[in-house]
Structure 1
Amino acid sequence: MISNRSLATRVVGIVVLAVASAACWWAWAAWDTTYQVDPVTGTTSGPYAGWQIAGCVLSLIVVTAVAGARLPVWVVVPTVTVAFTAAWAWTASSDTSGLWAVGAVMVACGTFLGAAVVAGCAVPVRWARRRLEA
């Protein structure tokens, strides 16, 4: 049975995790909505640069690993997936191509798989913390 204090701590942890997951998107990429056009070839790219995606992914890995060491994997994976995908979808839904829903499914699948791997790797840390606290 979970005590009220333990439950409150877990709920706060989940809320912080959701906000931090969404913040990874907002901090690195949500503000960049312009596509770049190569003046020579006319090729369009973007709107995100490689460094933005790398920073976003690395930040999300850190958030997920820390959460995985403190919360159960079955809580971490869906929380990270839903929060990050919702933040992404919020900005992507204004894209004029109309393909944002397809992208949202791809982001959700990738985030789910990545979060599962990272949070799963953090489980031994969580077990070690429990043994030290006992």
Structure 2
Amino acid sequence: MRQRILKLVPQLLAILVLAALALAVWAAWLGWDQHRDVHPDGSTTGPYEAWQVIGLVLTLLPLVYWAASRRYIAGAVLGITGGLTAAAYYDWSDDSSGLFMVGVGMVMVGSLVVTAVISAVIASVKRDGR
């Protein structure tokens, strides 16, 4: 029983560390830009630019690679997904329309699927020794 618990500790630690890092990366890339851009025709965009989201994704990829290459698949998937979901919830919860939960759900499902697929590919490539 004790050995089983000791095998879970690195996985749980990976989940917590990756969740905290995902929160920090969200804050670094997306947390500071909170205004929408109003165009001359009255339409609005934002609050994030494409380069910010691309930077977020490219910053998270090495974290996923690190965890998946060490067989912390649950850590990669649950940590990144949990961190991004919590960050999105905190960042968007002041929306008065209540639709922020739709966006939070989309962040959760999207990050869950993408990190699961990327982690599975990395783990299978590392297992084959390539």
* TM range, smaller chain: 0.7 to 0.9
- The two structures, once aligned, show a CA RMSD in angstroms of 2.2
Contact 2:68 2:76 in 1 (8 A): yes
What letter corresponds to residue 20 of structure 1 in structure 2? Answer: L
Q: Deviations over 1:49-100 (max 9, x none)?
A: 1111110111122211211112432332122211211111101111233210
What 5-or-longer segments of structure 2 have no aligned partner?
Answer: none
Pairing 1:18-29 to 2, within 5 Å after superposition: 18-29=19-30
Q: Percent same amino acid among aligned pairs?
A: 34
**Alpha carbons of structure 1 residues 2 and 126: separation in structure 2 relative to 1, 3 Å:** farther
| Alignment partner of 1:55 is 2:60 | no
SS in 1 for 2:26: helix
Instruction: Name the residue aligned to 1:127.
Output: 127
Unaligned residue ranges in structure 1 (runs of 5+)? 130-134
Q: Which residue of 2 aligns with 1:132?
A: none
Instruction: Give TM-score, length-normalised by structure 2.
Output: 0.83
Q: Secondary structure at the match of 1:30?
A: coil
Question: How many corresponding residue pairs?
Answer: 127
Q: Which residue of 2 aligns with 1:113?
A: 113
Equivalence for 1:78: 78
Q: Which runs of 4+ in 1 moved over 6 A?
A: none
Verify: 1:88 aligned to 2:92, yes or no. Answer: no
Aligned mates of 2:13, 2:60 — CA distance in 1? 19
Cα distance in 2, alignment partners of residues 9 and 112 from structure 1:
20
TM-score by length of 1: 0.81
Deviates more, 1:110-119 or 1:91-100: 91-100
Q: Cα gap change, 1:48/1:128 in structure 2, threshold over 3 Å: closer, same or farther?
A: same
Structure 1's 10 and 72: CA in aligned 2 closer, same or farther, altered over 3 A? Answer: closer
* 2:29 and 2:55 in contact (8 A); partners too: yes
Equivalent residue number for residue 104 of structure 1: 104
Determine if contact 1:32/1:48 at 8 Å carries over to the other structure: yes
